Amino acid sequence: MIPSARLQAVIDLFTAMEAHQRPADRVAQSYFRDRRFIGSGDRREVSQTCYALLRGRARLGWWLERAGGKDTPRYLLLAWLVLSQGRGEKDCLGLFNGERYCPEALSDRESSVIAALAKERYAVREQEQADPLDHPAQPAFVRFELPQWSTEKLLAQLGRQGRQELTALRDEAAVDLRVNTLVASQEQAKQTLAEEGIDSEEGAWSPLALRLDGRKAVAVTKAFKTGMVEVQDEGSQIVAQLVDARPGKKVVDFCAGAGGKTLALAAAMKNRGQIIACDTMEWRLKRSAQRLKRAKVFNVTRRVLKSERDPWVKKHKGDFDRVLVDAPCSGSGTWRRNPEAKWRFWEENLAELTALQASILASAGRLVAPGGRLIYATCSLLEEENEAQVETFLAQTSGFTILPVAPVWKALFATDCPESLEIEGRANSPFLRLAPGKHGTDGFFVAILERVKEA
């Protein structure tokens, strides 16, 4: 594809991402599946540009408002070309030329917006902004690329670490792989990837993690196809490992979804014992079937629940050694990985979601056997979804006590637990908070609760 045609593809794909409620990566997969004539290099360029627009959306919109532009995919792309790529009006005239498969020619208004953006970009260049989309006059929520409500809430909750973490949420997430020990060792997987030209390094925290050098086509590699590795953020791997699922035990993954953590639990159990993967959405569980087969996992039973209060839960009260509740949440800890998601989550959604989390946690707790553990996790940075949920559960449910994460970590990994990201007024928390700025992972919260054995 010529450069102009790639830009038209960016406009088309970004328009589709804006129009659909599906995750941006799935929209991109569908878009390129219908356009197989687009080569791999062009797909990569188009995708990377679309994600750059998603990550810079608030700041690009702020610049455009000052310059008299519109909040449309075409204007956002023009602003990105001028501010981030240093293109001038002459360059844009050549790229937006109206030829076949290329963007329509620039209007007079668009030309004046480009001129205004270029002029102001030159004026602030001497102020040594860390990012060319930054401007000293931008309000905090624009600078951090977040809805205003979540910016104010997170800055208040995270205190002195807030600015670092919100800046990290702006950045592109690394690609992490989890080595499947049912198939290979970490060294074997690393070597197999290297033979296909993919360099990787051991993770900082998880003993099963490999971090790639840039974005690679992992799905076409031998290591992926033979089940040696799964794509999984290092923080997500740690959540599964802290379940301490051992061979021969009975385990429930209560909100299993597509099965990422289920796979990790099965590997930890060496395919021995029983895992029940539950979800209320049948299509999510169906998506896990191929993954389970590829990973050589045989000890998982998938179960669709009518709701978190399904009669199956009451029937199996006290039956399980470990129950993982990876609760549905705002996903605020993953907003660097899914930048479109933050604009689809409203403050009004939070009350409804926290009520659901409380109901899920209360119901799943019934499954835990005396002496067993309930592990509550989210990929959220918000206190309401994390510490507050655990406190409410303990206040309303007898028979559970908190197990501090640090000694559990020490027993599992024989290393010191990473220093947790602190919430204002919650020093020395027994829980674990992982965060992009502090740990280089997605944001995760983990609480480990043990059911007291009967006298």
How do residues 101-147 score in pLDDT, each as one tens digit?
999 999 999 999 999 999 988 777 666 667 899 999 999 999 999 99
pLDDT at position 124 is: 74
Angle at 198 between CA 55 and CA 35, to 5 degrees: 55
pLDDT at position 52 is: 96
pLDDT, tens only, 69-103: 999 999 999 999 999 999 999 999 999 999 999 99
The structure's pTM equals: 0.94
Rounded mean pLDDT of the chain?
Answer: 94
Q: How far apart are CA 87 and CA 78, in angstroms?
A: 9
pLDDT at position 214 is: 83
Q: How far apart are CA 41 and CA 46, in angstroms?
A: 9
Q: How far apart are CA 194 and CA 212, in angstroms?
A: 10
Evaluate if residue 329 carries a pLDDT over 70: yes
Mean of the pLDDT values across residues 326-349?
95
Mean of the pLDDT values across residues 358-377?
97
pLDDT at position 185 is: 96
pLDDT at position 22 is: 87
3-state SS, residue 445: strand
Would you state the structure tokens that stand for residue 371, as one six-digit string?
């002496």
More confident site: 175 or 427: 175
pLDDT, tens only, 186-224: 999 999 999 999 999 999 999 999 999 888 889 999 999
Residue among 376, 378, 372 nearest 362 (CA): 376
pLDDT at position 215 is: 84
Share of the chain above pLDDT 90, in %: 89
Q: How far apart are CA 249 and CA 15, in angstroms?
A: 48
pLDDT at position 127 is: 64
* Cβ-contact 433, 235 below 8 angstroms: no
Mean of the pLDDT values across residues 307-316?
96
Residue 386: pLDDT band with limits 50, 70, 90: very high
Q: How far apart are CA 280 and CA 283, in angstroms?
A: 9
pLDDT at position 213 is: 84
* Cβ-contact 258, 287 below 8 angstroms: yes
Angle at 412 between CA 406 and CA 414, to 5 degrees: 80
Residue 315: pLDDT band with limits 50, 70, 90: very high
Q: How far apart are CA 124 and CA 100, in angstroms?
A: 37
- Which residue is associated with the tokens 């839960």? 313
**Catalytic residue status for 379:** yes
pLDDT at position 21 is: 83
* Cβ-contact 367, 315 below 8 angstroms: no
pLDDT at position 129 is: 63
pLDDT at position 121 is: 84
DSSP per-residue letters across 16-57: HHHH-SS-HHHHHHHHHHT-TTS-HHHHHHHHHHHHHHHHTH
Q: Say how many CA atoms lie within 13 Å of 97 toward its Cβ.
A: 12
Of these residues, 92, 329, 379, 417, which one is catalytic? 379
